Structure 1
């Protein structure tokens, strides 16, 4: 299935879908450091374009005639790590994403965002636009730690199809979830050489020392050393003297990027693009199950129905 990735970042969604057998033919982003990294790792083109320029975006994407468009509009206005203020303007790109989809009319669309985005008015408005435009929608919150990623990271996915109901796809995904979260040790074995690590908290009311025998907390775009004045939190998993911060490479591996994936830019730029990315294995989980779902006879028959069904 020909696929275009919008708001592609450094390529977590693209890589996961490609590993599942989808033909990603192009990508779009508007942050040069992430684009530079994407270009180091993929053969197909990525375009530097502000997707708020809807007519230009539609013209570009239409030229690839995609059957599937995937994308994660910026989440800062929805995220618990951000200001949680939809009026700041960045959330409007979610509406722009929906407008682009309605203008291009791919058979399938997948929109990704943070867990709490589903509660926002703009997210709900975008879903209503897609529904009114003829898309049957399925929405699910996936915990990456149950999808092959050693990280507690919950993300909302909206899957849309133009040719019939896909409400049962949520059940398919739920049935394929792991029974237990994947821990850091499950994924790395003992290769990290430590049992505890430091993850800088948003506030010191939260713990900062984690064990490799649990899933990592959400990888964010900030990675700092342990402050010399750090005071132990009662919920810390171990003594701060036994912990160390994770390296940039280790954080990318927790996001399930391959070891040979090339990140370029300053350290802070690399940390930010890693924190912003969709974990590769989470995208692979979704894509693999979508591909299996597409191969069911019922879906093959639905695809032959006229677009107004």
Structure 2
């Protein structure tokens, strides 16, 4: 059972996948108090620290924790395309370089770095990889779509999968032995819940929202439910079919569900529990603290559980093979 320390642990969505893949959480660290509370509620046997990693001494913690895997999800907002043309905060980006002292102190067999793919355009991306390689790690730089691994969300992210075993990994290696079941946006909707919907066509409704809905209705026909996509750059008319995986969840409340009653369209926003489902967390994972907006942010900041589960299954399989060869 590979143990892990979780930097930038968030609400524990990635950790949920790691546990499903056979991992055991030892320590989580995050600067957001609600993330810390959520992580602790879901993984009560792990120690959880409310702090920025730069304000925490990895050498001191390395005396207590000897993880097999170091999970890291450095701040991604300054790399993300969702911020548009606004300049990134360089100190936010620097949190990625900040993981190096943790690797040096703990020297885990495996290091996982997750971030948005645009991180590759960051001027210090190659420096980060070179720094990890200088510690004798083999680094596999992968772009993975969570939908490929059976998620109900199409979330494309960069994963650096680093190991001391000299093993180079591909997406195909992570999918070995898996038969992911295709999921779509319809699968993450709670169709039995009685969430309040309002008529789509009401006086206060924004013109842009109505235009997006009309484009969807024109394409799909009446009485077919669909998703309206709010905010961010959208190149598909501002809507999506429920037959495709949900588009990437962000920290903003951006997805509305249009349903029909007696040929009249109604609109409601997707709820945190539905977004949690799209993150792959499942019913066993709870969101016990925070208001609606904060729970949406927890989801948007998370790592899809399905991808991390596949990574941990690969780690377990690789470690088992090594043990067999040693015997």
The TM-score range, normalised by the shorter chain, is: 0.7 to 0.9
Partner of 1:201: 231
Structure 1 residue 252 and structure 2 residue 276: aligned? yes
> 1: CA distance between counterparts of 2:5 and 2:292?
28
After superposition, residues 150-165 of structure 1 pair within 5 angstroms as: 150-162=152-164, 164-165=165-166
- 1:75 Cα deviation after fit: 0.5
Question: Normalising by structure 2, what TM-score?
Answer: 0.78
Q: Which has the larger radius of gyration?
A: 2
Structure 1 residue 11 and structure 2 residue 12: aligned? yes
After superposition, residues 211-226 of structure 1 pair within 5 angstroms as: 211-223=241-253
- 1:242 Cα deviation after fit: 5.5
Kept after mapping to 2: 8 A contact 1:220/1:275: yes
Kept after mapping to 1: 8 A contact 2:144/2:171: no
Of residues 271-280 and 78-87 in structure 1, the stretch that sits farther from structure 2 once superposed is: 78-87
Partner of 1:284: 309
Kept after mapping to 2: 8 A contact 1:17/1:283: yes
Partner of 1:113: 115
> 1: CA distance between counterparts of 2:118 and 2:169?
23
Of residues 97-106 and 246-255 in structure 1, the stretch that sits farther from structure 2 once superposed is: 97-106
> 2: CA distance between counterparts of 1:243 and 1:78?
32
**Which of 110, 124, 127 in structure 2 is aligned with 1:125?**
127
After superposition, residues 37-52 of structure 1 pair within 5 angstroms as: 37-43=38-44, 44-52=46-54
Two-structure CA RMSD over aligned residues (Å): 2.9
> 1: CA distance between counterparts of 2:237 and 2:33?
34
**Which of 76, 99, 102 in structure 2 is aligned with 1:100?**
102
> 1: CA distance between counterparts of 2:280 and 2:264?
26
- 1:58 Cα deviation after fit: 3.2
- 1:174 Cα deviation after fit: 5.7
Distance 1:140 1:62, change over 3 A: farther
Structure 1 residue 79 and structure 2 residue 80: aligned? yes
Distance 1:216 1:176, change over 3 A: farther
> 2: CA distance between counterparts of 1:116 and 1:208?
22
Q: What are structure 2's unaligned runs of at least 5 residues? A: 195-223, 257-262
Partner of 1:271: 296
Partner of 1:25: 26
- 1:117 Cα deviation after fit: 1.3
Of residues 281-290 and 92-101 in structure 1, the stretch that sits farther from structure 2 once superposed is: 281-290
> 2: CA distance between counterparts of 1:280 and 1:99?
26
> 1: CA distance between counterparts of 2:312 and 2:24?
11
Question: Normalising by structure 1, what TM-score?
Answer: 0.82
Kept after mapping to 2: 8 A contact 1:12/1:279: yes
Question: Secondary structure in 1 aligned to 2:77?
Answer: coil
- Aligned pair count reads 288
Q: What are structure 1's unaligned runs of at least 5 residues? A: 227-238, 305-309
Partner of 1:262: 286
- 1:62 Cα deviation after fit: 3.9
For 1:209-245, what per-residue CA distance to the aligned partner results, in whole angstroms no more than 9, with x for missing partners? 222111100011111586xxxxxxxxxxxx9936542
For 1:26-81, what per-residue CA distance to the aligned partner results, in whole angstroms no more than 9, with x for missing partners? 11111111111112211112111211236x13322441111211111111111111
For 1:117-148, what per-residue CA distance to the aligned partner results, in whole angstroms no more than 9, with x for missing partners? 12322222111101112111111111000011
Distance 1:138 1:187, change over 3 A: same
Distance 1:158 1:300, change over 3 A: farther
Kept after mapping to 2: 8 A contact 1:197/1:245: no
Of residues 60-69 and 139-148 in structure 1, the stretch that sits farther from structure 2 once superposed is: 60-69
